[in-house]
Amino acid sequence: MRKSKRKGRTETVRLELCDLCAATFAESGAVRGYVPHSSSASSTNDWFDGLRRITTCGAEHFTVIKALYEQRPFVQEELWAAKITQALTASPPVLSITELASRTGLHEPEIERAIAWHNERRSPRRMT
Ligand SMILES: [Zn+2]
């Protein structure tokens, strides 16, 4: 960061928020990384699909939150549903299953499984 030449002027410090303890701290002290998370679809790069970016106030909290996320089951249908949701909320709107398949990179049976999974979880009459 470039220092200000003006006397008495304060420098801007970017702040971060810890994903574990919610503490606010200077960005320079952040520990970041990715954890597996099947609800996370990247809007910019398919390589990051299924990965969630974590920011913590230190290495200790990163280790704790990483262990918590690793206990969460990775559900393939959840990731497909996240990709579908992303495609459906982007513009221009998706007009057909073929177009949805093209945008998400999913095959139609995968789309059908993802929709079934989504609807099962959204149903207010679910018995499980
Ligand atoms: Zn923390």
Ion ligand 1 residue ranges (Cβ < 5 Å): 18, 20-21, 23, 57, 61
Rounded CA separation 95/91 (Å): 11
Last residue of a domain, one of 27, 54, 70: 70
Co-location of 117 and 92 in the same domain: yes
Residue 1 lies in a domain: no
Q: Are residues 107 and 91 in the same domain?
A: yes
Cα 40 to ligand 1 centre (Å): 22
Please check whether residue 6 lies inside any domain of the structure: no
Residue 13 Cα distances to 16, 26, 61, 105, 118, angstroms: 10, 6, 22, 40, 41
Residues 66 and 80 in one domain: no
Same domain, 60 and 101: no
- Tokens encoding 9: 């002027």
Is 56 inside any structural domain?
Answer: yes
Instruction: Please indicate, yes or no, whether residues 80 and 38 belong to a single structural domain of this protein.
Output: no
Residues 117 and 82: their CA atoms lie apart, in Å, by: 11
| pLDDT at position 5 | 52
- Measured distance CA(35)–CA(64) in Å, rounded: 12
Taking the chain (128 residues) in consecutive chunks of 10 residues, what is each chunk's mean pLDDT? 55 92 96 95 90 96 96 96 91 86 93 94 64
Domain membership of residue 118 (yes or no) is: yes
The DSSP secondary-structure symbol of 48 reads: G
Residue at 5 is within a domain: no
Residue 44, pLDDT score: 86
Q: Which domain holds residue 28?
A: 15-70
pLDDT at 4: 46
pTM, two decimals, is 0.74
Q: Measured in angstroms, how far is the CA atom of residue 21 from the centroid of ligand 1?
A: 4
Which one of 43, 70, 97 terminates a domain?
70
Q: Give yes or no: residues 62 and 81 share one domain.
A: no
What separation in Å is there between the alpha carbon of 99 and the centre of ligand 1?
42
Distance 18 CA to ligand 1 centre (A): 5
Instruction: Please tell me the total count of domains within the chain.
Output: 2
Is there a single domain that holds both residue 66 and residue 20? yes
Asked whether residue 46 falls in the same domain as residue 24, the answer is yes
